[in-house]
Amino acid sequence: MLRKFLPNDYVKNVFEITPEFLKERNIKGIITDLDNTLVEWDRPLATQELVDWFSLLRNHGIKVVIVSNNNEKRVNKFSQPLNIPYIYKARKPRKKAYLKALQMLNLPKEQVIVVGDQLLTDVLGGNNAGFHTVLVVPVTNTDGMVTKFNRLIERRILKWFNKKGLLEWEVQKGGK
């Protein structure tokens, strides 16, 4: 049962997801969460480092779609200046938004990864939809109200994965 929450890969931050990392896995598209995956949940715009990362991906032919449970105003304000397509109010972990994002990418599922900071939404949803999933350490310790509750459950699952030797999650920022 808990294996539905187990990501295929895990990284400290999205910047470890390089063109080389993707090429090794034959990946040409990324479905990524926004809040606490790319930037802090309360930061409205991308950092320069993130702008550069998106440019690097684009220059290597990697397509990106942002899939967020947040509202349209929040997701549009972040995505529009970057010219990145997005889905808001995605209702993750439900599959529908992931499959819609796959259509937007116009790639086979095997060439797309799902990236996010939460086991209960991003990883579970990506796994249930049949994608390769990558868990990232949250970029900050703070969360919105719903996410705070999810983190309590998530910590227990991560602890179990650690105990079983399935996932050595690093304790940093919000990663515990």
Sequence ranges of the domains in the chain = 2-164
Q: ∠ CA 81-76-45 to the nearest 5 degrees?
A: 55
Bridge partners of 113, per DSSP, are: 30, 132
The answer to whether residues 64 and 104 touch, using CB atoms and an 8 Å cutoff, is: no
- Count the neighbouring beta carbons within 10 Å of the beta carbon of residue 70: 19
Provide the pLDDT for residue 76. 98
pTM of the shown model: 0.89
72-95 pLDDT, tens digit each: 999 999 999 999 999 999 999 999
The CATH number of 2-164, from 3.40.50.1000, 3.40.50.2000, 2.30.30.30, 3.40.50.300, is 3.40.50.1000
Q: pLDDT: is 70 or 143 the higher one? A: 70
